[in-house]
């Protein structure tokens, strides 16, 4: 019967200890820096356009085929404001289908898509998880604001120059 | 195969009628969508017919249509409690086929995460086994610690369950800077947590009465069934892929494999508890020795491994996972076959359950620790 | 499921590297399996032996019981569809000698019959049922070849490569 | 006459209301206490500290659709909850909460309580049977087996108290304890009564009949909404009753050294405090232990508790007959208890230490050591 008594003592000890749970809707667990939420599109502040060119590489390598993208000629390029010849026209991700694997981020050549910290899947309408370009950019902008994200290429270039200066 | 007639088997007693009880797929203790049709004589089970396949998603067929990089995500979803171990098995298969070298640091990261994954998986087992036996508190203790592990995974891989972190040729990215400190702290907490949960459940007399001597499987039978992992080791067979055919860098660590003596439910339970402690010691050693360096051998995005076939074995928390990969040189595998550990362990269920009580059936099924995601694939 | 073969590109073969145990088995197997006329080969680090489908059960029994092999553990049983033939693949392991080998048997897709090995290893039971489900290989003498993963009355063998997948449309 | 009836009705209604409030409090305490045991908060959102959570639950249960599968035996199905509930309520007629606070102070109070508490078994079996669900049938039969077997040690334990007090009147029993409470004189009886009481309640580790992981809620599996809540109500009132009886029979009821025993408010407060403490112990046990198996439960009942209860009666009889001082009986009781615990541990092969059948095997270092 000793084991049983020991069990009672253990539960008594935990009873007088502080609970370890979070009061979820009121208080959120901090999200880790690397947390992969939904894939979102990033906004190039310098030229006021998305980084995405609609090249479809992410669409092709998506294991669940949850994305669609359409490319168009970039009007800003014609005006000479942007170096991007092509730009994304429409982009849709069905976040209900997305498995958050991050392959789209790995394959993207333009640092245009990123795994955000957004993770709320519950929506008010049946197909509300189909996010169009506007919403993806909006979420991406929020992520950019939150984390001070900069494209990896830019970062690498800066680091290289900093090193060169040293 | 025991012959069972539906008529009454009692002689000179009251006439009794046997009853067919459908246990699952919605039964609270069948661990997923597993279904057993039990023929019971009162509370005693006289026949069992297991049914699986409710979660059959055709993962192996799906692999044939995906490029190698995408298949890792499919392997995440086989045994969704030990994702990293599955990923590792698949990546090792491809690496072996291509004779690809994996950087040293990547191997260490892989081993640390896989062992951590093993602890997480066994913690889940600890909790659910308590629930099966009727104790409602152990699962909370287990989840308290499991939550910390999941947070650690979140910090390293970016995802709590479906990581897609172990890649062909290494791991996705290097571990965060404060990895070593956080892991050291985590190991301490886990040690304490496991000890506490162990004190609560493992040696309580009621629990011992419920699990000792229940569902005994002899070593020869376990081997014949192809059982592996803790289920086999509880029967006293010291078979562990990490020791028998050391893969990755497991030969560099000093660790023991817990083996049982009787092969009953309690042994299967306690082998896992001890295994958690051994895993923590492996993690400690790996953290100590982890070198600096790159974490991935760069490969092309679309891999075309040479023609051939390869079979790799790995030690999952539930037993031996095998990946049989046939390639014809194209960018997609020709055939992928997974040898699912709990599929084989589950096969013995009929033999284990015959002539036990309904209440024992729950405990025995719990002690096998199955995950239907990999049983059905 | 298009395999993109680049023109003028010969597919490289996977490198074979048998370890000591594998080499020992390679020397050993012709004697043990002499009766069955095996065709020996290697798959990266495992010895493979191909036998006639009708001999599979006996070959397995021999492999299990011969003292120097002792393949008492059926690790994996699977079927590979090579379109012109189906290959039943047995991965055998020995818990005493700790070595491993692959046994193979080729059957034609139309007449896919292999004797069961459930009498050799009980653990072959569900593997065989699964292969029967997905590939339509009949395991002669199996006690209960009822569908395991698929539902009763499923048409066709979804594991085979010529199986037409039903169209899927997103809602 | 008319006044009498009116008074009785008024008292019954008061009792029902009081018990409902008690049940609500029990639900809250149980959830909070289990929460703390499991390092959770328990209910937090409805009202301050989740105090209104049980009320919200009650409203939900009342508003819920009462599902009825088409092949149930309707008459029995609808009657079963009442058959469980009414006896549970009836025993409160004679349970005193203070010296003068009792609806009917029956001289055969204990006898009456035991007679009524047996009745609810019928309701559980009927519920299981009428649901026409195999799990419910299994649960119903389990309930029958369990409750009938544990009535016997319960009755025998109560008998020991009745012998000591020379009365079956509960007020009398409490008044007799003004010097030494019976828990001290007869610890063996207390243990038997408490264990058998737990089994009567169907609480962990004896929750065989509603066992969630085995028979999915047992007799209640098909019930929903208001009818299910009647079972629920009955279970909690029963819990309270067993705790109250434990306090009355063994812990001196409303008596507390240094406090007046005849001021109703103080008496009530003391009684409630003691009862809630016993209830906390019941919840504590629930939060800690796994559940026994049906055959282990039966053998514990018949092979351990029933003989022990007889020993208890014999010892009490000898004590009364020879007029020993009270401490002799206490010592005897403790000795028998200790012997039982030792014997049980021996029988379960867990003494002095449970066998650890798992060892660590390390083929490389060849130094296997015990785990």
B46 and B154, same domain (yes or no): no
B32 and B63, same domain (yes or no): no
Q: What's the pLDDT score for residue B12?
A: 62
Q: Is the pLDDT assigned to residue D347 strictly greater than 80?
A: no
Cβ atoms < 10 Å from Cβ of C111: 9
D136 and D117, same domain (yes or no): yes
Q: How many residue pairs from chains B and C have C-beta atoms closer than 8 A?
A: 121
Q: B1 in a domain, yes or no?
A: no
CB atoms B331 and C122 under 8 Å: no
B129 and B42, same domain (yes or no): no
Q: Which residues in chain A touch residue B206, judged by CB atoms under 8 angstroms apart?
A: 4
Q: C121 in a domain, yes or no?
A: yes
Q: What's the pLDDT score for residue D91?
A: 87
Answer yes or no: are the C-beta atoms of B214 and B356 closer than 8 Å. yes
State how many domains chain D has: 2
Give CA A18 to chain center in angstroms: 34
Region C21-40: mean pLDDT is 82
Q: Is the pLDDT assigned to residue D269 strictly greater than 50?
A: yes
CATH number of A31-153: 3.30.70.3270
Q: What's the pLDDT score for residue B6?
A: 46
Residue B16: φ, ψ to 5°:
-120, 155
Q: What's the pLDDT score for residue D193?
A: 92
Q: D167 in a domain, yes or no?
A: yes
Answer yes or no: are the C-beta atoms of B268 and D358 closer than 8 Å. no
B165 and B246, same domain (yes or no): yes
β-sheet with C46-51: strand ranges across: C39-43, C46-51, C100-107, C86-93, C73-81
Q: Is the pLDDT assigned to residue B8 strictly greater than 50?
A: no
D41 and D174, same domain (yes or no): no
Q: What's the pLDDT score for residue B3?
A: 41
Q: Is the pLDDT assigned to residue A166 strictly greater than 60?
A: yes
B288 and B163, same domain (yes or no): yes
CB atoms D135 and B256 under 8 Å: no
Angle at D288 between CA D287 and CA D290, to 5 degrees: 105
Q: D287 in a domain, yes or no?
A: yes
Region B52-60: mean pLDDT is 86
Give CA A77 to chain center in angstroms: 27
ipTM tops 0.90? no
State how many domains chain C has: 1
Answer yes or no: are the C-beta atoms of B370 and B364 closer than 8 Å. no
Q: Is the pLDDT assigned to residue D365 strictly greater than 70?
A: no
D80 and D57, same domain (yes or no): no
Note the pTM of the prediction, 2 decimals: 0.88
The position carrying tokens 């702290």 is B185
Q: What's the pLDDT score for residue C19?
A: 82
Q: Is the pLDDT assigned to residue D16 strictly greater than 60?
A: yes
- What percent of chain C is modeled with pLDDT above 70? 92
Answer yes or no: are the C-beta atoms of D257 and D289 closer than 8 Å. no
D173 and D233, same domain (yes or no): yes
Beta-bridged to residue C103, according to DSSP, are C49, C90
For A6, the closest of B66, B73, B199 (CB atoms) is: B199
Q: Which residue of A has its CA nearest to B175?
A: A34
Answer yes or no: are the C-beta atoms of B85 and B317 closer than 8 Å. yes
Region B109-122: mean pLDDT is 92
Q: Is the pLDDT assigned to residue A14 strictly greater than 60?
A: yes
Interchain CB contact of C126 with B (< 8 Å): yes
Q: Is the pLDDT assigned to residue B7 strictly greater than 60?
A: no
The Cα–Cα gap between B283 and B89 comes to 19
B131 and B79, same domain (yes or no): yes
β-sheet with A86-94: strand ranges across: A67-73, A86-94, A130-131
HEC readout, chain A: CHHHHHHHHHHHHHHCCCCCCCCCCCCCCCCCCCCCCCEEECEECCCCEECCCCCCHHHHHCCCCCEEEEEEECHHHHCCCCCCCEEEEEEEEECCCCCCCCHHHHHCCCCCEEECCCCCCCCCCCCCCEECHHHHHHHHHHHHHHHCCCCHHHHHHHHHHHHHHC
For D37, the closest of A2, A15, A21 (CB atoms) is: A15
Q: D152 in a domain, yes or no?
A: yes
Q: C164 in a domain, yes or no?
A: no
- Shortest distance, CA B40 to any CA of chain A (angstroms): 32
Q: B2 in a domain, yes or no?
A: no
The Cα–Cα gap between B129 and D43 comes to 26
Hey, what are B200's tokens? 């609560």
B151 and B39, same domain (yes or no): no
- Shortest distance, CA C35 to any CA of chain B (angstroms): 25
Q: C171 in a domain, yes or no?
A: no
Q: Which residue segment(s) compose the domain that C20 sits in?
A: 16-140
D 144-203 residues with CB < 8 A to A: none
Region B333-358: mean pLDDT is 89
- Shortest distance, CA D340 to any CA of chain B (angstroms): 14
pLDDT tens-place string over residues C57-66:
888 888 888 8
- Shortest distance, CA D158 to any CA of chain B (angstroms): 26
Q: If you average pLDDT over every residue of chain D, what do you get?
A: 85
D84 and D27, same domain (yes or no): no
Q: C148 in a domain, yes or no?
A: no
Q: What's the pLDDT score for residue D62?
A: 87
pLDDT tens-place string over residues D95-149:
888 877 777 788 888 889 888 888 888 888 898 888 888 888 888 888 888 888 8
B341 and B196, same domain (yes or no): yes
Q: If you average pLDDT over every residue of chain C, what do you get?
A: 83
Q: D358 in a domain, yes or no?
A: no
Hey, what are A66's tokens? 């949850």
Q: What's the pLDDT score for residue A22?
A: 85
Q: Which residues in chain D touch residue A17, judged by CB atoms under 8 angstroms apart?
A: 39
Q: C168 in a domain, yes or no?
A: no
Q: If you average pLDDT over every residue of chain B, what do you get?
A: 86
The Cα–Cα gap between A46 and A48 comes to 6
Q: C131 in a domain, yes or no?
A: yes
Q: B296 in a domain, yes or no?
A: yes
Give CA C42 to chain center in angstroms: 14
Domain harbouring C67, CATH code: 3.30.460.80
The position carrying tokens 């016993």 is D278
Hey, what are B34's tokens? 């597993």
- What percent of chain B is modeled with pLDDT above 70? 96
B63 and B19, same domain (yes or no): no
D51 and D90, same domain (yes or no): no
The Cα–Cα gap between D198 and D285 comes to 10
Q: D309 in a domain, yes or no?
A: yes
| A18 pLDDT tier (thresholds 50, 70, 90) | confident
Q: C70 in a domain, yes or no?
A: yes
Q: Which residue segment(s) compose the domain that B231 sits in?
A: 59-376
Q: Please tell me whether the peptide bond between D238 and the residue prior to it is cis, using omega within 30 degrees of 0.
A: no
Q: What's the pLDDT score for residue C6?
A: 57
Q: What's the pLDDT score for residue D227?
A: 86
| B11 pLDDT tier (thresholds 50, 70, 90) | low
pLDDT tens-place string over residues A95-118:
888 888 888 888 888 888 888 888
| D348 pLDDT tier (thresholds 50, 70, 90) | low
pLDDT tens-place string over residues B259-286:
888 888 888 999 999 899 999 999 999 9
D143 and D278, same domain (yes or no): yes
Q: What's the pLDDT score for residue D28?
A: 92
Q: C43 in a domain, yes or no?
A: yes
Give the residue, C1 or D274, on which the prediction is more confident. Answer: D274
B46 and B66, same domain (yes or no): no
Region D246-261: mean pLDDT is 84
Q: D14 in a domain, yes or no?
A: yes
Region C152-160: mean pLDDT is 84
Region D45-56: mean pLDDT is 87
Q: Which residue segment(s) compose the domain that D177 sits in?
A: 71-347
Treating both helix axes as pointing N-terminal to C-terminal, what angle do A2-15 and B179-201 enclose, rounded to 10 degrees? 130
Q: What's the pLDDT score for residue D370?
A: 42
B29 and B84, same domain (yes or no): no
Domain harbouring B338, CATH code: 1.10.645.10
CB atoms A3 and D41 under 8 Å: no
D158 and D54, same domain (yes or no): no
Q: Is the pLDDT assigned to residue D189 strictly greater than 80?
A: yes
D128 and D242, same domain (yes or no): yes
Q: Is the pLDDT assigned to residue B119 strictly greater than 80?
A: yes
D37 and D138, same domain (yes or no): no
Q: Is the pLDDT assigned to residue C142 strictly greater than 80?
A: yes
CB atoms D357 and B270 under 8 Å: yes
Q: What's the pLDDT score for residue D246?
A: 92
Q: Is the pLDDT assigned to residue D351 strictly greater than 50?
A: no
Q: What's the pLDDT score for residue C169?
A: 67
D155 and D21, same domain (yes or no): no
Hey, what are B192's tokens? 């304490």
State how many domains chain B has: 2
Give CA B254 to chain center in angstroms: 22
């Amino acid at each position: 019967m000793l084991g049983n008594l020991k069990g009672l003592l253990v539960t008594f000890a935990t009873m007088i200890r502080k609970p370890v749970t979070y009061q979820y809707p009121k208080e959120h667990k901090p999200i880790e820096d690397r947390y992969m939420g939904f894939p979102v599109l990033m906004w190039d502040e310098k030229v006021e356009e998305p980084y995405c060119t609609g090249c479809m590489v992410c669409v092709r390598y998506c294991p669940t085929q949850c994305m669609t993208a359409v490319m168009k000629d970039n009007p800003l390029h014609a005006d000479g404001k942007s170096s991007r010849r092509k730009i994304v026209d429409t982009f849709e991700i069905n976040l209900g289908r997305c498995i958050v694997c991050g392959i789209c981020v790995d394959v993207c050549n333009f640092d245009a898509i990123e795994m955000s910290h957004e993770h709320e899947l519950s929506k008010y309408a049946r197909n509300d998880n189909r996010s169009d370009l506007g919403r993806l950019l909006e979420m991406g902008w929020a992520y950019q604001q939150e984390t001070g994200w900069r494209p990896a290429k830019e970062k690498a270039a800066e680091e290289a120059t900093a090193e060169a200066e040293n | 195969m025991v012959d069972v007639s539906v008529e009454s088997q009692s002689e000179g007693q009251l006439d009794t009628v046997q009853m067919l009880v459908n246990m699952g797929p919605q039964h609270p203790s069948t661990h997923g969508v597993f279904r057993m049709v039990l023929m019971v004589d009162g509370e005693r089970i006289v026949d069992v017919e297991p049914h699986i396949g409710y979660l059959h998603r055709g993962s192996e067929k799906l692999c044939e249509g995906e490029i190698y990089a995408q298949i890792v995500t499919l392997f995440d979803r086989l045994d969704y409690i030990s994702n990293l171990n599955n990923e590792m098995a698949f990546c090792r298969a491809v690496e072996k086929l291509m004779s690809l070298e994996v950087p040293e640091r990547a191997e260490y990261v892989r081993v640390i995460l896989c062992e951590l994954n093993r602890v997480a998986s066994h913690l889940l087992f600890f909790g659910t086994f308590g629930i099966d036996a009727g104790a409602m508190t152990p699962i909370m203790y287990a989840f308290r610690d499991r939550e910390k592990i999941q947070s650690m995974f979140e910090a390293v891989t970016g995802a709590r369950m479906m990581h897609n972190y172990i890649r062909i040729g290494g791991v996705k990215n290097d571990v965060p800077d404060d990895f070593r400190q956080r892991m050291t702290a985590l190991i301490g907490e886990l040690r304490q947590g496991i000890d506490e949960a162990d004190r609560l459940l493992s040696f309580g007399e009621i629990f011992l009465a419920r699990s000792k001597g229940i569902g005994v499987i002899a070593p020869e039978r376990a081997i014949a069934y192809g059982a592996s992992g803790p289920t086999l080791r509880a029967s006293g067979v010291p078979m562990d892929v990490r020791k028998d055919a050391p893969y990755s860098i497991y030969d560099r660590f000093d660790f023991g494999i817990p083996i049982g003596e009787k092969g009953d439910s309690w042994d299967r339970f306690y082998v896992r508890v001890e295994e958690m402690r051994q895993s923590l010691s492996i993690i400690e050693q790996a953290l100590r020795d982890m070198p600096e360096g790159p974490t991935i051998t760069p490969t092309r995005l679309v891999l075309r491994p040479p023609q051939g076939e390869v079979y790799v074995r790995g030690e999952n928390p539930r037993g031996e996972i095998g990946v049989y990969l046939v390639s014809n040189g194209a960018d997609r595998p020709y055939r992928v076959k997974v040898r699912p550990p709990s599929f084989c362990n589950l096969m013995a269920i009929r033999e284990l359950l015959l002539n036990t009580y309904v209440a024992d059936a729950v405990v025995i099924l719990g002690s096998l620790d199955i995950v239907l995601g990999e049983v059905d694939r | 499921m298009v395999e993109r073969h680049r023109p003028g590109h010969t597919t490289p073969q996977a490198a074979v590297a048998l370890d000591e145990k594998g080499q020992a088995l390679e020397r050993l197997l012709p004697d043990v399996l002499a009766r069955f006329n095996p065709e020996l080969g290697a798959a990266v680090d495992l010895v493979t032996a191909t036998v006639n489908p009708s001999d599979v059960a006996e070959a397995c029994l021999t492999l299990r019981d011969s003292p120097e092999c002792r393949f008492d553990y059926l690790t994996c049983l699977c079927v590979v569809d090579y379109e012109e033939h189906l290959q039943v693949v047995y991965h055998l392991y020995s818990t005493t000698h700790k070595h491993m080998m692959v046994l193979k048997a080729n059957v034609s897709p139309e007449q896919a019959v292999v004797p069961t090995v459930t009498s050799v290893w009980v653990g072959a039971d569900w593997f065989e049922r699964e292969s029967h489900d997905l590939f339509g290989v009949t395991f002669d003498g199996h006690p209960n070849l009822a569908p395991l993963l698929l539902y009763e009355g499923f048409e066709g063998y979804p594991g085979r490569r010529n199986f037409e997948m039903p169209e899927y449309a997103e809602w | 006459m008319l006044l009498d009836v009116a008074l009785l009705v008024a008292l019954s209604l008061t009792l029902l209301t009081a018990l409902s409030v008690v049940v609500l409090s029990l639900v809250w305490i149980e959830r909070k206490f289990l929460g703390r045991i499991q390092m959770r908060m328990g209910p937090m959102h409805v009202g301050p500290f989740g105090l209104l959570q049980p009320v919200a639950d009650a409203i939900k249960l009342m508003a819920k659709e009462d599902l009825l599968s088409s092949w149930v035996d309707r008459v029995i199905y609808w009657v079963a909850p009442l058959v469980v509930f009414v006896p549970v309520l009836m025993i409160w007629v004679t349970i005193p909460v203070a010296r003068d606070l009792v609806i009917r102070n029956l001289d055969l109070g204990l006898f009456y309580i035991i007679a009524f508490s047996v009745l609810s078994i019928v309701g559980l079996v009927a519920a299981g049977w009428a649901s026409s669900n195999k799990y419910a049938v299994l649960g119903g039969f389990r309930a029958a087996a369990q409750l009938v077997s544990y009535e016997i040690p319960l009755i025998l334990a109560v008998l020991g108290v009745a012998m000591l007090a020379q009365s079956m009147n509960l007020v009398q029993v409490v008044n007799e304890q003004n010097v030494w409470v019976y828990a001290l004189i007869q610890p063996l009886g207390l243990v038997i009564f408490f264990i058998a009481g737990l089994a009567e309640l169907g609480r962990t580790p004896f929750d065989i009949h509603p066992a969630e992981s085995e028979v999915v809620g047992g007799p209640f599996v098909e019930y929903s909404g208001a009818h299910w809540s009647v079972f629920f109500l009955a279970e909690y009132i029963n819990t309270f009753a067993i705790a109250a009886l434990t306090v009355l029979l063994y812990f001196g009821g409303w008596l507390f050294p240094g406090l007046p025993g005849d001021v109703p408010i103080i008496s009530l407060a003391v009684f409630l405090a003691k009862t809630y403490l016993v209830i906390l112990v019941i919840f504590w046990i629930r939060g800690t232990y796994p559940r026994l198996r049906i055959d282990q439960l039966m053998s514990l009942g018949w092979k351990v508790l029933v003989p022990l209860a007889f020993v208890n009666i014999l010892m009490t009889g000898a004590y009364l007959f020879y007029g020993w001082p009270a401490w002799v009986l206490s010592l005897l009781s403790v000795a028998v208890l200790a012997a039982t615990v030792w014997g049980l541990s021996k029988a379960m092969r867990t003494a002095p230490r449970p066998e650890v059948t798992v060892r660590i095997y390390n083929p490389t270092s060849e130094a296997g050591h015990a785990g």
